[in-house]
Amino acid sequence: MDILQIVLLGIIASIVFIILQQINRSFAFFIAFVTSLIILLAIIQQINIIFDLIKTLGQQANVSGLYLETILKIIGIAYIAELGASLTKEAGLSSVAKNIELAGKIFIILLAVPIITAVIEAIINFLPA
């Protein structure tokens, strides 16, 4: 599925959502949810290509696999949290959406701690004693 098909699917789903929202709000949300899943499934292969490219570049640059894996996990968490928050906002649950965003940020910070520690240790090693 290329970008034009994805955009067209999104536009059609948006029009159907707007029409159905006035008739049956729960079915309209279901349309938005299914459309989001279809788009996500359509781009998973491209996401894997990007991850493979990042891994290859990291190996060529001699970057530790732990740091590269952590960065990829952080990116994944950011996108998953954004998708979940958007869907819950669309359902009218903005407080749940805010909690999803907060949880995503906390998980990102937890994953970033080893990288932050390594950076601080590298800076300390460069400073004269």
Position 100 scores a pLDDT of 96
Alpha carbons 90 and 108: distance in angstroms, whole number? 24
CA distances from 28 to 34, 49, 71, 107, 127 (A): 10, 33, 35, 31, 59
Alpha carbons 103 and 101: distance in angstroms, whole number? 5
Give tens-digit pLDDT for 13-61. Answer: 999 999 998 899 888 889 988 998 899 888 888 888 888 888 888 788 7
Alpha carbons 3 and 19: distance in angstroms, whole number? 24
pLDDT of 91 above 90? no
pTM of the model: 0.69
Position 115 scores a pLDDT of 85
